[in-house]
Amino acid sequence: MQSDYDAIIVGAGINSLACAVHLGAKGWRVGVFEQAAVPGGAVKTLELTESGFRHDWAAMNLSLFGGSGFFKAYGEDLVSRGLEFAPATHCFASVFDDGRWMGVSTGAGETRARIAAFSEADAKAWDRLCAEFPGTAEYVFALLGNPMQMHVQGKLLAKALFRKGFAWTADLVRMLLSSPRKWLSETFESEHVRATMAAWGMHLDFAPDMAGGAVFPYLESMANQNFGMVIGKGGADTVTRALVSKIEASGGEVHCGSQVTRVVREGSKATGIELADGSRIKANKAVIANVAPSGLMSLIDGQSGDAGFDRKMTGFVHAPGTMMIHLALDGLPDWTASDELKSFAYVHIAPSLDQMARTYQQAVAGLLPDEPVLVVGQPTTVDPSRAPDGKHVLWVQVRMVPGEIRGDAAGKITETDWTRVKEIYAERALDIIERHAPGIRQKITGRAVVSPLDLEADNPNLVGGDQVAGSHHLSQNFLFRPALGHATGKTPVEGLHLTGASVWPGAGTGAGAGYMLAQKLGGK
């Protein structure tokens, strides 16, 4: 370990690693310090159940990374270092209590035919969205892929007005501000079609009635239809390993098991870090903290020198938590709705907008939802290399759950300690899967249940198990992520910068926050 670096990055999540790669390419000596035993944050793969079964700890979908500006710049080099994607053409589906199902695939006419089985009018609406998507995507991806600064976004707005006109631009802005229920109800008549797309809002912090959430069901549905989905060949950590290799090739270092306890300051300037063992490392140019706002305040002893900034960081709101269930299986689930479902990367069990809204409100109230939304990932149907021949892994995300349990909406679980509740609550989730895939329990050869507090212990950015590192509601998104005036990661402490999913453009594997900060500091 060196005694000084040009830049020190706290945390080894995907934004940190992308930031380190770009700064290293610009000639900076970068040191990354991570408290966990392995790098990657939410993007790592572990043998959690049995030998030979590789489970993505939290993030599984790498489509945002594959389509990112960072990958465009560095993808060729990363591929030469072992990064490999496994493409999925059958992307996501939903199953319903009436025995029907709906799914989005890339094959010509496949998705349209499934929609038409529910409503021909909805199939025509889908045709219209698909035809309009290239023109809309140009502006939405530009919005999400650029720094959240008034002059940058102002130019984008002016471009849209000039090229597309006021009515088109106003419709786009309205969609960006709409709730999933509002946009989906205006666009589709089938409850099944609406629910299939609305499930993507629950991946973030957007229950059906939350303003600003419509864009996520829209983008996921259109992007999966047009481009498909990718996961990591052998596990999501294919990205992490390639990034670390690139950092080290540029002279940088990634230190795991190294907890940063303080940012060292001289006067009003950040000059380095202090580790849990008391050692100090100097940063000649920048200290970059990939931490939640509460974590940032801890690193600077609760005071930045700007009381207004401190209040904003202390008041940063986190989304409800997530519980993960990792299963080793003898075979894929036998979905009763259709055997075709075995070919999908994701199967959502989120039967209606009302159920999703109820689940969200229960979790926010501190209650274990009576019927959580389940995101059932089937990575081995896309990438068989993650398990021994003929075997499978199942990746189950239980959304939403409270980080602090105050009760059970079903009135059955009396415990409030997650260390005991997680195995009990996992049975409720498995009961739900069993309704749609009878016999799933008989296929399980190993399981690991990860509670919201387990997620936070591994990665303190995931406060209360909040996998998206902070609510994305309108009051805390766009110019307000994490707070007005700080969407670029700027802090009142000279030389100290904030990055990660708590900073614009927010959660996901796109590495946008880290890459944009690195471009700001080191140049494009």
Which H, E and C letters describe 21-38, residue by residue? HHHHHCCCCEEEEECCCC
Mean local confidence (pLDDT), 9-17: 98
d(CA 38, CA 121): 50
Confidence band for 103, pLDDT divided at 50, 70 and 90: very high
The pair of structure tokens assigned to 304 is 């930045």
Question: Residue 248 sits in which domain range?
Answer: 4-84+235-316+470-522
Q: State residue 43's pLDDT score.
A: 97
Specify if 61 maps to a domain: yes
Determine the Cα–Cα distance for residues 231 and 382; give it in Å rounded to an integer.
8
Please state, in angstroms and rounded to a whole number, the distance separating the CA atoms of residues 486 and 293. 11
Whether 219 has a pLDDT exceeding 90, the answer reads yes
Check if the beta carbon of residue 328 is closer than 8 Å to that of residue 387. yes
Per cent of the chain over pLDDT 70 is 100
Pick the range with the lowest mean pLDDT from 90-99, 132-141, 439-448: 132-141
Mean pLDDT for 453-476 is 96
Please check whether residue 452 is in contact with residue 465, taking contact to mean a CB–CB distance below 8 angstroms.
yes
C-alpha–C-alpha distance, residues 240 and 314, integer Å? 30
For residue range 185-215, list pLDDT tens digits in order. 999 999 999 999 999 999 999 999 999 999 9
Q: Give the contacts of 119 (CB within 8 A, at least 6 positions apart).
A: 188, 189, 190, 193
Share of the chain above pLDDT 90, in %: 93
CA 108 to chain centre: 28
Token pair 């009135």 in the structure block, residue: 411
What global pTM score does this model have?
0.96
Question: How many domains are there within the chain?
Answer: 1
In this structure, are residues 513 and 15 in contact, taking their beta carbons and an 8 Å threshold? yes
Confidence class for position 497, pLDDT limits 50, 70, 90: very high
Q: What is the pLDDT of residues 54-90, one digit of tens each?
A: 999 999 999 999 999 999 999 999 999 999 999 999 9
Q: In angstroms, what CA-CA distances link 7 with 102, 250, 319, 325, 516? A: 48, 13, 31, 37, 15
Distances (CA, A) of 294 to 151, 386, 400, 506: 29, 36, 22, 16
Q: What is the pLDDT of residue 149?
A: 85
pLDDT tens readout for residues 332-383: 999 999 999 999 999 999 999 999 999 999 999 999 999 999 999 999 999 9
Whether residue 65 lies inside any domain: the answer is yes
Closest CA to 12 of 35, 38, 34: 34
CA distance 74 to 78: 6
- 185 assigned to some structural domain: no
The CATH number linked to 493 is 3.50.50.60
Structural contact between residues 472 and 320, judged by C-beta atoms closer than 8 angstroms: no
Q: Are 195 and 120 in contact (CB under 8 A)?
A: no
C-alpha to C-alpha distance for 486 and 479, rounded to whole angstroms: 8
pLDDT (mean) for 167-196: 96
The pLDDT score that the predictor gives to residue 375 is 98
Place of tokens 């199953």: 95
pLDDT category, 53, cuts 50, 70, 90? very high
Kindly tell me if the per-residue pLDDT of 494 is higher than 90.
yes
Whether the per-residue pLDDT at 327 is higher than 90: the answer is yes
Establish if 32 belongs to a structural domain.
yes
β-pairing, 407-408 with 346-349?
unpaired
Element (H, E) at 375: strand 373-377
For residue 108, pLDDT beyond 90? no
Which of the two residues, 137 and 332, has the higher pLDDT score? Answer: 332
Which positions ≥6 away from 215 have C-beta within 8 Å?
A: 140, 175, 176
Q: How many whole angstroms separate alpha carbon 210 and alpha carbon 201?
A: 9
Give residue 197's pLDDT: 98
Model pLDDT for residues 223-258, shown as the tens digit of each residue? 999 999 999 999 999 999 999 999 999 999 999 999
Return all residues near 436 (Cβ < 8 A) that are at least 6 apart.
Answer: 95, 333, 335, 336, 337, 349
- Amino acid code (one letter) for 305: G
- Assess if residue 367 is contained within a domain: no
Q: What is the mean pLDDT of the chain?
A: 96
**Alpha-carbon separation of residue 508 from 67, 91, 468 (angstroms):** 12, 17, 7
Token pair listed for 34: 């991570």
Instruction: Identify whether 70 is part of a domain.
Output: yes
Asked if 284 contacts 261 with a C-beta cutoff of 8 angstroms, the reply is no
Which string of b and e fits 364-376 if b means at least 16 CB within 10 Å?
eebbbbebbbbbb
Whether residue 230 lies inside any domain: the answer is no
- Could you tell me if residue 74 is inside a domain? yes
Q: What is the CA radius of gyration of the chain?
A: 22
Helix (H) or strand (E) holding 449: strand 444-450
User: Per-residue confidence at 3, pLDDT binned at 50, 70, 90?
Assistant: confident
List 87's β-bridge partners, or say none: 230
Question: What backbone torsions phi and psi does residue 256 show, to the nearest 5 degrees?
Answer: -95, 160
Residue 474 to residue 328: CA distance in whole angstroms? 39
Mean pLDDT of 282-304: 97
Whether pLDDT at 151 is above 90: no
* Residue 146, pLDDT above cutoff 90: no
- Residue pair 24/250 in contact (Cβ under 8 Å)? The answer is yes
How many residues appear in the chain? 524
pLDDT at res. 309: 97
- Residues 255, 260: Cα–Cα separation, whole Å: 11
